[in-house]
Chains A and B, each alone.
Chain A
Amino acid sequence: MVLQPPNFLSAQARTFDERKVSMDFISKNLPYLLAGISVGGQYALIAIGYTMVYGILRLINFAHGDIFMVAALVMVYASASFPLYVTIPLVLVSTVLIGFVVERVAYKPLRDAPRMSIMISAIGVSYLLQNLALYVTGGLAQIYPAIPLISNSVSIGPATTKVVTIVTPVLTVLLVILLMWLINHTKIGMAMRAVANDFETSRLMGVKINSVISMTFIIGSFLAAVGSMLYFTNYASVVPTSGAMPGLKAFVAAVFGGIGSIPGAVIGAFIIGICENIIKGLGWTTFSDAFTFALLIVILIVKPTGLFGERATDKV
């Protein structure tokens, strides 16, 4: 039995109702959106690593997701014995070092080999890192240490979430702006663009190919380390396969945005992160991962070069 309000009240009641409904709508859906933006930012930081390496070497660096996971493990073990102001720089430096060493050891000797060999080498590195992690952790999930400030909970309107959710998109955008400036306005950036444009010619023109490639891996690994801090602060459990799924999705994001294009990768990552969580919000939780990979197939069929990709005929 519903009581009808008197006539003279109905207009006022209706506006009140509408406002309440829209507040309700926001408070119910804001958490999905926030989660989407946050995870999108984290995918973006990984996706940049994929897209830059592809842009320069035409190599899909399958080990990138695992470098992301190793960065998290370094954090877990380092934080057990050092204070935070030592741990964070240590994680950044050691991840960069691992990225650099992987390139020198596993990819550089294959520089003139067929592209397929270097890709298989990348898959090898991926499994090597996963199994090393399995050996070190003994297969048990490691709890990621809480980083003060960004681990705390915060209320945004009706939703409660961790501070890192808000920090992630802001930090991601800042880092991308910095990276774009580096690429467009510095000497090493110019060298990168030259190498990406024409590998052989820039080598002939005296560009130090090896240092440019190393720099690419250093930047990619640095961003993966930052991404791993943000990601695992939100989802605080590290297992040897933790890097696989975010890595794959970041790769899809890079393809979606047009592999080789940095803004494309970032936009692609945000779109994938947000769509994934909206799908979960609609109640189709079973299909949230299927969506990401279905998207990959559709893009490859409809627009193989992605949103912002250069037109190229020699894709792997």
Chain B
Amino acid sequence: MKKSAAAAVCAVLALACVMPVSAAETVKIGVYEPASGDNGAGGKQETLGIQYANSVCPTVEIGGTEYDVELAIVDNESSNEKGPTAASQLVSEGVSVVLGSYGSGVSIAASDIFEQAGVPAIGVTCTNPQVTEGNTHYFRICFLDPFQGTVLANFAADNFEAKKAYVLTKLGDDYSVGLGHYFQEAFENELGGEVVAETFPEGNADFTSYLTTAVNEGADVIFAPTSTEAAQLIIDAAAAQGIDIPILAGDTWDSNVILNAAKGKDLAIYVTTFYQEGGNEEFDTNIKEWISGDSTNLANNGGDDTVAAVTAMGYDAYFVALEALKAAGSTDPAAVNEAIWDVTYSGVTGDISFDSENGDAARDSAYVKTANTETGAWDFVGVQQKK
């Protein structure tokens, strides 16, 4: 009831936004997301959410003047080396605030560039604590890996009575290694389980040997917090080897890429995520219509109209940025930076507010979903709260 009311308010606001025909001034919001590389698929879905939000509400009133919102979108290529270049490009375009990135590594890599330029950034789904730790310009609207890792470890222990877990992470990927570490910490120290941890290098395509090790070690669950690119290959290799151990993963796996890869295969896949499709009917219907209405959007969403959690998060992030601009009453990045601390917003993924220490969102619940390999859709398992 509350949500639909919020949606109605949102729709009215959207109408109000659309009404004025001409607005001479423009304000730029930077979108720092991967469109290629390992996280290209996820980055594109997150960008879609931001673009959709922009199409719903393309103007904002700042200090009594109506501004057109222009998105400056760059591709950080999922690469820690190329990310800073893309970030500099945003800075030189004169953006007031930056949204992104999908993938914690690239966010950390670009953090210094934004700090030097005095541009605030709002992380959408980068879950590694280091993104916001010890700085005042990087914020985020999602939960953190220590929380997510603990939730997953508890889920493994509660639902599968797991005593031994096989953790597979990607070398040099801050998100993957970090989440694997927090899972291991919770699983070993709090739950008294045993963990076998292995890593795979960039560009690895052969997961047969890793999965064989998991089986040989007698693991009860496999935890693989990886990019969707690697996930496809892991799923394929697991199916080819007939592995019946449940596979757990973090928010990155919540993507139709995984559903398509797992469809028709006999596997048990569980993920934690930010949003469950069906959480806000009106948002779902409208964004599906918007995605299906354009072939480029459809291709960027992976060929169908499944709403990824990162898309919903991107949508909310855009409105958080608008709130910050309104509160700042100016397009000056420094003023916006000051204003973000006090922004509160009720989005489709829940209530968003920032803590006063690192600028992390106060989030205390994660959704657990499982891939239905027959219908090719996500089945809702439950909400895990912070313990």
Contact = CB atoms under 8 A, between A and B. Distances in A.
B240 interface: yes
Interface in B329-381: none
Given A237-B232, A237-B233, A141 B241 contact: no
B4 interface: no
A143 B35 contact: no
A121 interface: no
Given A138-B299, A153-B240, A237-B233, A31 B203 contact: no
Interface string B83-107: 0000000000000000000000000
Given A28-B216, A244-B203, A245-B203, A139 B209 contact: no
A58 B200 CA distance: 35
A236 B209 contact: no
A234 B228 contact: no
Contacts of A237: 205, 229, 232-233, 236
B236 A236 contact: yes
B210 A242 contact: no
A228 interface: no
A140 B40 contact: yes
A140 B302 CA distance: 8
Interface stretch (A167-175, A188-196, A284-292, A299-307): A284-292
Contacts of B299: 138, 140
Interface in A11-34: 28, 31-32, 34
A137 B77 CA distance: 14
Contacts of A236: 232-233, 236
Contact of A285 (B44, B198, B241, B242): B198
B199 A286 contact: yes
Nearest to A134: B36
Interface in A109-152: 134, 138-141, 143
Nearest to B260: A143
A141 B41 contact: yes
A213 to B, nearest CB: 31
Interface of A: 28, 31-32, 34-35, 39, 134, 138-141, 143, 153, 159-162, 231, 234-237, 239-242, 244-246, 277, 280-281, 283, 285-286, 288-289
Interface of B: 34-37, 40-41, 44, 75, 77, 171, 198-201, 203-206, 208-210, 212-213, 216, 228-229, 232-233, 236-237, 239-242, 257, 260-261, 299-300, 302
